[in-house]
Chains A and B, each alone.
Chain A
């Protein structure tokens, strides 16, 4: 193990390390803690300039209550309606593409695989005008469906990369044995490969959920109003409405950030497996 395990070092350094950990952590999260502190302050604290002292009263319920009385819940609901189908769609499509590219040897296999990878790396801006036009032509501009369709298509690139590599690492003998038994190929997919892919599906779902929830660019390119916009775009209009009311803006930001954070803490292991692209074991 590197660095040298702390148990093997001097007593002083062991204590020093234990003291240092929380201090470094507080510094690392300081910007966020500041916002959390803002979100429970009353309005007056900002007018009298009490930014960093103790709050003159704790207004957590009032502040967060006010956020829930704005358009915020609507935006959050939109985010869920956009994110969940995207996760399902992208994972379903990539289970299939990953299976095809991971199990079969055919001409063009690697070429198609690299096309998915390359597409996943490109800057969004090269797609912006044509995708916006396409969405307008389909009559899906400023709808959640329009946004979902694009996200599903784009995320399929990353998901295929992940799924294909995962399937490659599965024992191929299983599939060969099934073929000898004369089992149909689609049954091999459904009954043999898919159950083995559960960890990969979990990892991708958590990751894609976070990516899509946090998307801002496509939200402002393909949608405009509170009927379709997700919370990342909504927060800017929320802030415009409550300009300079920092206690409300802070509370709003925290609420907007909460769902992916909860997802991360609940599914940490899967999340990290997804982030490392399964390449670093």
Chain B
């Protein structure tokens, strides 16, 4: 008790900062980060919502040159805009097929999870495509698909089939781009699973082996449940990647042929900053739709993380 009293008197004579140090310090450390993040990320989200209610070509200020149109842009998007429809469907295709990276990555990881000479180098080389920028991946695959000299048609030719122009055909172009995107994404999932496989409890595996579990049964009932954290991250990054797809489309087809490979992120860019005139308000409305789709996933991710946080506290 005696020490507490002396402490209080000592505290009273100290400066305000010293007395409140533990309460104040975190905020001092947070201010620069929060300020930057608010300025460039949080506030712009709300600005985009607001902007989507206006007709504005980006010249002058929104207050002076913008014309308030209410929800008209959204109405137009969902009732009259065919390009928007195509983009939305393509986004769905991306979401579904991009997820193939997860089982694909798991398969490659299982294949490479051995201890033989040089395996480390093999693992790095398999991971290689993820490190390269999507622009280069896009270029590489554009040439790979080239109907004249592409390696893909050379391979098709070996089987005796006529060459096909994957990126030139509106029915196949999007799938061609997704396949290109799967290349680095599978590599990413592979590395997540390789790390996850390292952490699999060897005792459980041995115990299951003694019980006669083998092959795919072992994989399904013993290994995959233990890989849950890796699968969660793979799921998060793949969904985000699918909805963010822009670079590959821009470099491989530029939205064509006949606008068949547009997705929302690309269509938004085209509307706001293309040579056909700057339709900032309309573009913002497209971005808001994309954002709302993403929000469903973000809410789910945050909810899962919140559950983990709660579990960690107890």
Residues of A within 8 A of B (CB): 1-3, 5-7, 17-18, 21, 24-25, 28-32, 34-35, 38, 46, 49, 51-52, 93-94, 96-97, 99-101, 103-104, 106, 109-110, 112, 114-119, 121-131, 133-134, 149-150, 152-154, 156-157, 160, 184-186, 189, 210, 213-214, 216-217, 221, 232, 235-236, 239, 246, 249-250, 253, 256-257, 260-261, 263-265, 268, 272, 275-277, 279-281
Query: 24 pairs across A/B with beta carbons < 8 Å?
Result: A1-B205, A2-B110, A29-B125, A30-B144, A31-B183, A52-B154, A93-B33, A100-B30, A117-B305, A118-B298, A121-B301, A122-B298, A123-B291, A125-B291, A126-B45, A126-B288, A128-B273, A130-B43, A130-B44, A131-B44, A185-B25, A210-B131, A253-B140, A280-B196
Q: A125 to B286, Cβ gap below 8 A?
A: yes
Q: B51 to A129, Cβ gap below 8 A?
A: yes
Q: Is B240 an interface residue (CB 8 A)?
A: yes
For residue A89, give the distance in angstroms from its CB to the closest CB of chain B.
9
Known: A93-B33, A104-B26, A280-B233. A214 touches B44 (CB 8 A): no
Q: A153 to B143, Cβ gap below 8 A?
A: no
Chain B contacts of A93 at CB under 8 A?
Answer: 32-33, 36
Q: A257 to B133, Cβ gap below 8 A?
A: yes
For residue A18, give the distance in angstroms from its CB to the closest CB of chain B.
7
Known: A31-B151, A121-B301, A280-B229. A153 touches B247 (CB 8 A): no
For residue A17, give the distance in angstroms from its CB to the closest CB of chain B.
7
Number of A-B contacts (CB under 8 A): 276
Q: Is B122 an interface residue (CB 8 A)?
A: yes
Contact with A along B203-231 (1 / 0, CB 8 A): 00100000000000011001100000110
Known: A18-B116, A24-B111, A257-B133. A123 touches B37 (CB 8 A): no
Q: B116 to A276, Cβ gap below 8 A?
A: no
